[in-house]
């Protein structure tokens, strides 16, 4: 049997895949450091029994070119991002996936963004490295010095200790818009910071919540939270749910964090609020346009921390993904139903 791998595969599970296939062909990320085009995928997938692809397009055209494909293995939680699920299902091709593969990774990043924007970590780093609050005379030797507030600057604008105060997380309220796997992991970390945590999720009932988290409606969450963090997938029920009306409810001292998807929020309204200081700030990892154009208004705001859609990016999710995929591939090739099927309707018991 032949396996096509177009994404990174560097883990202890590497040998397990070798044991399942006679031939493994590496394309894309492993070879050229980029995602394959649709045409390149059409060519690469010919004659392959299985494919492991994370970002490369597995479109209807690619699936039609796959003359021997038996299974698709996606090392991500949302295979629909790059796989034509409807077409694969029509062709009877199972799609394996890894739900919650990076839930702790994104939760870590979310807390990091909260601290980075509210305590001015990113802004302080930028100002020092760009010489804005450096090179002011006289210098003070840090240690047993006359004053412990050395970075005073020559003007109030450069008095760092006064300019960059921010809220302590302890005692503040975090509102989670979405209480799935990532939301729960974020709540776990926020509770460890002694925060109060509330969540909005119409698919979760309070009696099933095992954490010290109170479920509330979205309007209450938006109007009472000191930090609002979005953890929703994009579908017909969530698209635009953090609307103009909902954003308008936020407190002027509150911060917006989005490590999920841009389509669930009205970014035009968010940008206006940030410009007018109607909220304190935002930490954003996702955008309506990616990459951001050079003239995008978010780039000129000093109360925003921006990261290039990397909240789910760490070493650990790959190990987790390949462990799950290897186990499910073994089941599949043994004629047994895999545990994690993205299109379960394709499986006939």
The SS3 of residue 17 is helix
Examine residue 143 and state whether it is found in any structural domain, yes or no: no
Q: Is residue 149 part of a domain?
A: no
Of the two residues 19 and 217, the one the predictor is more confident about is: 217
User: What pLDDT digit, counting tens, does each position of 247-304 carry?
Assistant: 999 999 999 999 999 999 999 999 999 999 999 999 999 999 999 999 999 999 999 9
Residues 326/16, Cβ–Cβ less than 8 Å:
yes
- Catalytic annotation present for 290: yes
Q: Is the pLDDT of residue 144 over 60?
A: no
Q: Is residue 126 part of a domain?
A: no
Check residue 319 and give its pLDDT. Answer: 80
Query: What is the average pLDDT across 163-168?
Result: 90
Determine, yes or no, domain membership for 261.
yes
* Mean pLDDT, rounded, for 162-172: 92
Greater confidence (102 vs 141) lies with 102
Q: Do 107 and 248 lie in a common domain?
A: yes
Same domain, 78 and 114: no
pLDDT for 326 beyond 90:
yes
How sure is the predictor about 157, in pLDDT bands with cuts at 50, 70 and 90?
A: low
Residue 151 confidence (pLDDT): 60
Same domain as 24, residue 40: yes
Asked whether residue 78 falls in the same domain as residue 184, the answer is no
pTM above 0.75, yes or no: yes
Q: Single out the residue of 307, 310, 312 nearest to residue 122, CA to CA.
A: 307
Considering the chain, what percentage of its residues have pLDDT values greater than 70? Answer: 92
Judge whether 212 lies within some domain.
Answer: yes
Tell me, yes or no, whether 111 lies in a domain.
yes
pLDDT in tens, 3-39: 999 998 766 777 888 889 999 999 998 788 899 999 9
Q: Are residues 330 and 183 in the same domain?
A: no
Domain count, the chain: 2
Nearest Cα to Cα of residue 181 among 74, 262, 102, 114: 102
Average pLDDT of the residues of the chain: 91
Catalytic residue among 76, 261, 320, 340: 261
Whether residues 283 and 339 fall in one domain: no
State the catalytic residue, choosing from 290, 296, 320, 340: 290
Indicate the pLDDT class of residue 110, thresholds 50, 70 and 90: very high
Q: What is the CATH number of the domain that holds 73?
A: 3.40.50.720
Residue 278 within any structural domain of the chain: yes
Q: How confident is the model at residue 135 (pLDDT cuts 50, 70, 90)?
A: low
Over the stretch 37-83, which tens digit does the pLDDT of each residue have?
A: 999 999 999 999 999 999 999 999 999 999 999 999 999 888 898 99
Residues 206 and 275 in one domain: yes
Shared domain check, 289 and 203: yes
Mean pLDDT of 87-115: 94
321 shares a domain with 263? no
- The active-site residue, picked from 220, 278, 309, 327, is 309
Query: Is 217 part of a structural domain of the chain?
Result: yes
Length of the chain: 349
pLDDT at 155 over 70: no
- In sequence order, the β-bridge partners of residue 104 are none
Same-domain check for residues 291 and 342: no
pLDDT for 180 beyond 60: yes
Give the structural domain span for 217: 103-119+166-306
Instruction: Calculate what percentage of the chain has a pLDDT beyond 90.
Output: 74
Q: Are residues 290 and 327 located together in one domain of the fold? A: no
Give the confidence band of 108 by pLDDT, cuts at 50, 70, 90.
very high
pLDDT band at 113 (very low <50, low <70, confident <90, very high): very high
**Domain match, 262 and 323 both:** no
Residue 46 CB-density burial (10 A; 0-12 exposed, 13-18 middle, 19+ buried): middle
Of 54, 80, 106, 55, nearest to 312 (Cα)?
106
Return the residue matching tokens 């963004």. 113
CB 73 within 8 A of CB 94: no
Cα–Cα distance for residue pair 135/143, rounded to 1 Å:
19
């Amino acid at each position: 049997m032949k396996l096509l791998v177009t994404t990174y595969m560097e883990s202890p599970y590497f040998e397990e895949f070798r044991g399942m296939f006679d031939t493994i062909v590496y394309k894309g990320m492993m070879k050229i450091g980029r995602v394959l085009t649709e045409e390149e995928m059409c060519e690469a997938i010919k004659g392959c029994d299985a494919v492991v692809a994370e970002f490369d397009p597995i479109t209807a055209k690619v699936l039609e070119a796959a003359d021997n494909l038996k299974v698709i293995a996606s090392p991500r939680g949302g295979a629909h991002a790059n796989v034509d699920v409807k077409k694969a299902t029509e062709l009877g091709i199972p799609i394996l996936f890894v739900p919650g593969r990076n839930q702790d990774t994104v939760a870590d990043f979310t807390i990091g963004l909260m601290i980075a924007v509210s305590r001015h970590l990113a802004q302080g780093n930028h100002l020092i490295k760009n010489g804005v609050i450096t090179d002011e005379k006289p210098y003070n030797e840090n240690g047993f010095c006359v004053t412990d507030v050395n970075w005073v600057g020559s003007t109030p604008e450069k008095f760092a200790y006064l300019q960059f105060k921010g809220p302590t997380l302890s005692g503040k309220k975090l509102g989670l818009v979405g209480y799935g796997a990532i939301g729960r992991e974020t709540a776990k970390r926020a509770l460890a910071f002694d925060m109060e945590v509330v969540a909005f999720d119409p698919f979760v009932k309070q009696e099933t919540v095992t954490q010290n988290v109170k479920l509330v409606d979205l309007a209450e969450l938006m109007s009472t939270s000191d930090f609002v963090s979005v953890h929703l997938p994009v579908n017909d029920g969530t698209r635009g749910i953090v609307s103009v009306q909902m954003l308008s409810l936020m407190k002027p001292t509150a911060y917006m964090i989005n490590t999920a998807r841009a389509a669930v929020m009205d970014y035009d309204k968010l940008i206006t609020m940030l410009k007018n200081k109607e909220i304190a700030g935002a930490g954003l990892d996702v955008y309506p346009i990616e990459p951001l154009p050079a003239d995008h208004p978010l780039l000129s705001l000093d109360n925003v921390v921006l990261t290039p859609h990397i909240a789910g990016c760490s070493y650990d999710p790959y190990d987790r993904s390949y462990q799950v995929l290897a186990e499910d591939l073994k089941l599949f090739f043994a004629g047994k139903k895999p545990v994690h099927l993205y299109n379960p309707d394709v499986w006939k018991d």
